[in-house]
Structure formats: C-alpha cells, structure tokens
Amino acid sequence: MREICLVEISTNGAYSAVYVELIGALSTALSQLGVQVHFELDRIRHDMPCLVFAWYRQFIDEQRPLQKLPSNCVIVNLAPLSGVEKAPWLERYIKCLKDTPVLDYSHNNVEILTRIGNTQNSLFKFGYLPLSAFQFPSKNLHYVFYGKVNEHRIPTLKYLREELKMPLRILHNCWGHERDLRIATAKATINIGKFDASVLEVYRIWHSLCLGTPVISERGGDEKLVQDWQQYVQFVESKNDWMKIEVDHTAPGRYAAQTSFLTETECLLAWLDQLKLCR
C-alpha cells in the first residue's frame, strides 16, 4: 500500500491549531484513495514521502535550529510570499524554498517560486469536503470574523461594527467545535487579509464554505485567485461595497456541488508521482 506522512512543524504560539482541518481533510481524501496516511509532529520520516506543513515556523523563531529537509519532502505553503516588508523572516524562508518541491494555493506565490528558480511547484485548488459530522442549528443574524486581530484588520472591523452597525462576532483564539459552531450558524463569514494587499486567504474561505456559510471577502492581491473564487465569494473593494452587501446564501451549495477536495487530492498524487519521491 502506498504511504504518505503528513508532518506539522510545531509552535508554542496561539495559532498552533491552524492547520488541523487541512491535515484532517488531506488524511481523509488520501485514505479514500487507498493511501496509508501517517502523522508526525516535528519529525521528518525518511522511508516515505512527507508533506510538511508550517515549515515557515522555523524561520519566525531565530533561536530555533533549522532542520534540513531530505529529498523525500514537499513543503505545503499557505503563507503569502509577497509581504517581506511586513514579515522580515519571510526572506530567509523564501530562499529555502528554491530547492524543495512546494505545494501552494496562490498563483502569485507560484510566480515568485518560479522567479527564484524553483521548478518543482504545483497549485492546489481547494475543493469541497464535509468538515463536520454535526448537524448544526439554523443560522442566526450575526456575521463572524475569526483570526488574529492585527493592525491591518482593525480599521475594517471597527468600521463594520461601529459605523455600519453590523452584528459582527469576532472570534480570537477560538478553535475546534466551538469555532465551527459559530461559523456554521453565522449569516456569513467576513474575510480580511492579514496584510495590506496580501494574497487572498483561501484557507478561511474554504473552511467557511465547507461548513455551509457564505463568505464576504476583501479581494486580496492575487487577481487570478480572485477569478478562481468569484463565483462562490462576494468580494468587496471599498468601504462603499461593504454598505451594499447582500449575502448570497446559495454560494455554499454551489461550491459543494461543483468542486471536490477528493479530485484535487488525486491531482496532488499525480504530481507526487512526477516528482519521483521515495515510497
């Protein structure tokens, strides 16, 4: 039986659980495709291909000794690679991506990888997968934002709450079933990029749509990514756009009917075959 190991690089920070859903989704899809899936925390296995999540965490903590990735590894990158001025550690991280296969979700990121000489990269398009076995209660009238409340997000959140009087619940450091209940019962999820002009944060959009909740989002700086998602997400470009919001309650259903996480995982396996990693 084919085997693959999913590896997460740990952190002591508040966002240690951020990749749980994606790791669980990949494990589910890979298992359905006949792959035996293993999981390790901080341990790189040498006897099978490894998909490594959150490799960038090693670069945030400068005191942390850097592991060297063996040739059987693929980095799963969800970090925007265009915000070096906002995150100085990013420059060192990008340099390490040159000689390692990278699975990414952003067209802009893939262009950056190609420019630095990385010839082994692939674009992963998130598709629908049921993320919870629960039958959640009916939706309420509240909107929800979840994620770190940083200097870029604060003005928009304040504007929505104080000027537009939007009934907006902000979830900070809220994880697992509690977070999913809040998302699944919300009228819509508000998606705001972590950095100004950052790439579209698809991970949050995917999570919300898979829980049956519409998404209203800033456009972000990756126009091709916006085009990929525009039939499922309501995008805003200015303050005036926020005032004209009409939630599209049919979007999650269309997303579930027209996309497939399993199909995207089949494409991932085909790409791994081309890389000829050890098995």
Using N-to-C axis directions, what is the helix angle for 261-275 and 20-32, rounded to 10°? 80
Domain count, the chain: 2
At 270, is the pLDDT very low, low, confident or very high (cuts 50, 70, 90)? very high
pLDDT at 7: 96
Residues 109 and 185 in one domain: no
135 located within any domain: no
Contact 121, 104 (CB under 8 A): yes
82 located within any domain: yes
Query: What tokens were used for 49?
Result: 């291909």
Nearest to residue 207, comparing CAs of 182, 173, 170, 242? 182
pLDDT at 145: 95
Residues 123 and 169 in one domain: no
271 located within any domain: yes
Q: For 99-120, what is the HEC assignment?
A: CCCEEECCHHHHHHHHHCCCCC
At 60, is the pLDDT very low, low, confident or very high (cuts 50, 70, 90)? confident
Residue 223 CA: distances (Å) to CA of 119, 159, 186, 190: 22, 25, 27, 19
Number of alpha carbons in the 13 Å side-chain half-sphere of residue 119: 2
Tell me the residue range of the domain where 191 lies. 143-258
Residues 244 and 269 in one domain: no
pLDDT at 30: 98
Residues 92 and 54 in one domain: yes
33 located within any domain: yes
> What is the pairing mode between strands 215-218 and 168-171?
unpaired
At 85, is the pLDDT very low, low, confident or very high (cuts 50, 70, 90)? low
Residue, of 152 and 195, whose pLDDT is higher:
152
Residues 232 and 268 in one domain: no
Instruction: For residues 157 and 241, give the distance between their C-alpha atoms in angstroms, rounded to a whole number.
Output: 14
Contact 166, 160 (CB under 8 A): yes
Residues 176 and 108 in one domain: no
163 located within any domain: yes
Residues 254 and 269 in one domain: no
pLDDT at 152: 84
104 located within any domain: yes
136 located within any domain: no
Residues 176 and 66 in one domain: no
* This model's pTM is above 0.75: yes
Residues 72 and 166 in one domain: no
pLDDT at 277: 79
With a CB cutoff of 8 Å and minimum separation 6, the contacts of 274 are: none
CATH code for the domain of 245: 3.40.50
Residues 77 and 21 in one domain: yes
Residues 193 and 219 in one domain: yes
Residues 97 and 159 in one domain: no
For residue range 220-249, list pLDDT tens digits in order: 888 999 999 999 999 998 888 999 888 999
137 located within any domain: no
Contact 25, 129 (CB under 8 A): yes
Mean pLDDT of all residues in 110-135: 94
